[in-house]
Amino acid sequence: MSLRVGMIACGGIARHHWRGWSQVADRAEVVALVDVSAENRAWFKQHVPKATEYDDYNGMLAKEKLDAVDISLPHHLHHPCLMSVIKKGLHWICEKPLCMSLDEAADIDQAMSGSKLVGMSAHNQAFFPALLEAKRLISEGQLGEIYTIISEDCFIMGLPRPGALPGEAPWSAVEPGMWRADAAKMGGGELIDTGYHPTYRLLFLAGREPVRVAAITGKYRQKHMQAEDTATVLIEFDNGITGMVRTSWALELPAGHHSFHVVAERGELYGSANELCWKPVRFNEPAKMAFDEVDTFEKEIVHFVDCVEQGIEPLQSYKDGIRVLQVIRKSYDFVDEGKANI
Ligand SMILES: NC(=O)c1ccc[n+]([C@@H]2O[C@H](COP(=O)([O-])OP(=O)(O)OC[C@H]3O[C@@H](n4cnc5c(N)ncnc54)[C@H](O)[C@@H]3O)[C@@H](O)[C@H]2O)c1
């Protein structure tokens, strides 16, 4: 039986999710659309003309008989929306960040506990083929002991993103009045937005519990943001592995850097979405592995439908979303408390 799905928000990223929903049309049907913008709903309507339109998610939840929802609202609306969705007993996939505060995360965790609902964090970059291969090699012990992991996601907001899919529009620069300019609606700045990606990649590769962080933030280019456009976070894990996240909407990935870089006893493993390099200790030239390009948004939606149908835990569940939020919130605390001041 086909799943009945409601799209909660039809903005920029939801259109990327659509590529996934269009791939599973025989297994899941988008039957309802929510957005306060009629123009954004109209973009979806051209693909799902029979879907019912709403400008309020509670209205949709009250009227529609659904199995699952796909949430791409601005950050401050994730928590209230998730609480309503879980109360309704629906499976869900939600864009990052899961929510904005650790209190909100605790609410969501409590509401989900004991339920058989699938709650998936839309951590699309966890589907990078090179990252999945790196995880496999680490888990098999091929690298020996892991020492330190660097994970970076840097681009200039408003300019086309390196590695963008053909025809993919750049994310708009942050302008006054946008929710991204407003620290209260964001729950912070760039770190709690794009910074989620390198953080979940790092936690995924480390596979251990983070225990301590230090952080520093800056605002260089996105002058209309109330909060930072760039952050660097240091993380220590319970087994002594250390990590560094660098994330920015002000600078491109510094020349020679990689999306992720693992330094281990037997060598260095580093790469991007589709390329992985392995440089054993004392070798100068790395061995290179190339992977077919994948659409990670398509992958995450197909995976979500697989998880709902089979009742299995997602590759990145909401619990992973909570762990990332812990690192990010503690990083903001570190900055706010001025612990790095000289
Ligand atoms: N995975 C990624 O690479 C990625 C990239 C961009 C954004 N995101 C995430 O996706 C989410 C949305 O970001 P976006 O770039 O699509 O933003 P956006 O501003 O393009 O879209 C947000 C949509 O929400 C709608 N909306 C606002 N308030 C609403 C309300 N009360 N009820 C119903 N609809 C409402 C807006 O009209 C808009 O269509 C954020 O959580 C963001 O962090 C993820």
Q: Measured from the CB, is residue 82 less than 6 Å from ligand 1?
A: no
Would you say 246 and 219 are in contact if contact means Cβ atoms under 8 Å apart?
A: no
Q: Is the pLDDT of residue 166 over 80?
A: no
Q: Pocket of ligand 1, candidates 17, 73, 121, 157: which has the most ligand atoms within 8 Å of its Cβ, to mutate?
A: 73
- Give the residue-averaged pLDDT of 69-79: 98
**Summary mean pLDDT of the chain:** 96
Specify the pLDDT at position 162.
Answer: 67
Would you say 8 and 81 are in contact if contact means Cβ atoms under 8 Å apart?
A: yes
Q: Measured from the CB, is residue 75 less than 6 Å from ligand 1?
A: yes
Q: Measured from the CB, is residue 178 less than 6 Å from ligand 1?
A: no
Q: Which amino acid is at 276?
A: L
Gap from CA of 14 to ligand 1 centroid (Å)? 7
Distance in angstroms (rounded) separating the CA atoms of residues 318 and 134: 22
Q: Where does the pLDDT of residue 165 fall: very low under 50, low under 70, confident under 90, or very high at 90 and above?
A: low
Gap from CA of 53 to ligand 1 centroid (Å)? 17
Q: Measured from the CB, is residue 17 less than 6 Å from ligand 1?
A: no
Distance in angstroms (rounded) separating the CA atoms of residues 92 and 38: 23
Would you say 205 and 193 are in contact if contact means Cβ atoms under 8 Å apart?
A: no
B/e letters for 174-209, b = 16+ CB within 10 Å, e = fewer, are beeeeebbbeeebbbbbbbbbbbbbbbbbbbbbebe
Domain spans of the chain, in order of start: 3-123+297-316, 126-292+326-336
CATH class of 126-292+326-336: alpha beta
Q: Is the pLDDT of residue 152 over 80?
A: yes
Instruction: Give the closest residue to 228 by CA, choosing from 216, 214, 213.
Output: 216
Gap from CA of 43 to ligand 1 centroid (Å)? 14
Q: Where does the pLDDT of residue 92 fall: very low under 50, low under 70, confident under 90, or very high at 90 and above?
A: very high
Q: Measured from the CB, is residue 153 less than 6 Å from ligand 1?
A: no
Gap from CA of 75 to ligand 1 centroid (Å)? 8
Give tens-digit pLDDT for 224-261: 999 999 999 999 999 999 999 999 999 999 999 999 99
The burial class, CB within 10 Å (0-12 / 13-18 / 19+), for 50 is: exposed
Token pair recorded at residue 268: 């260095």
- Give the residue-averaged pLDDT of 63-87: 98
Give, in degrees to the nearest 5, the angle at Cα 132 between 127 and 134.
145
SS3 state at 135: helix
Q: Measured from the CB, is residue 80 less than 6 Å from ligand 1?
A: no
Specify the pLDDT at position 163.
Answer: 66
Distance in angstroms (rounded) separating the CA atoms of residues 36 and 248: 29
Q: Is the pLDDT of residue 215 over 80?
A: yes
Q: Is the pLDDT of residue 159 over 90?
A: no
User: Which residue's CA is minimally distant from atom 30 of ligand 1?
Assistant: 36
The one-character DSSP state at 293 is -
Q: For domain 3-123+297-316, give the CATH number.
A: 3.40.50.720
HEC sequence for 232-292: EEEEEECCCCEEEEEEECCCCCCCCCCCEEEEECCEEEEECCCEEEEEECCCCCCEEEECC
Instruction: Give the closest residue to 95 by CA, choosing from 175, 183, 20, 203.
Output: 20
User: Which residue's CA is minimally distant from atom 7 of ligand 1?
Assistant: 13
Q: What is the pTM for the complete model shown? A: 0.96
Give tens-digit pLDDT for 5-55: 999 999 999 999 999 999 999 999 999 999 999 999 999 999 999 999 999
Gap from CA of 323 to ligand 1 centroid (Å)? 22
Give, in degrees to the nearest 5, the angle at Cα 69 between 63 and 74.
105
Specify the pLDDT at position 16.
Answer: 95
Gap from CA of 97 to ligand 1 centroid (Å)? 11
**Under 8 Å CB-to-CB from 197, ≥6 apart: which residues?**
96, 123, 125, 153, 247
Gap from CA of 12 to ligand 1 centroid (Å)? 6
Q: Is the pLDDT of residue 222 over 90?
A: yes
% of the chain residues with pLDDT over 90:
93
Give tens-digit pLDDT for 276-325: 999 999 999 999 999 999 999 999 999 999 999 999 999 999 999 999 99
Strand order in the sheet with 242-248: 210-218, 230-237, 242-248, 146-154, 260-264, 267-271, 275-280, 287-290
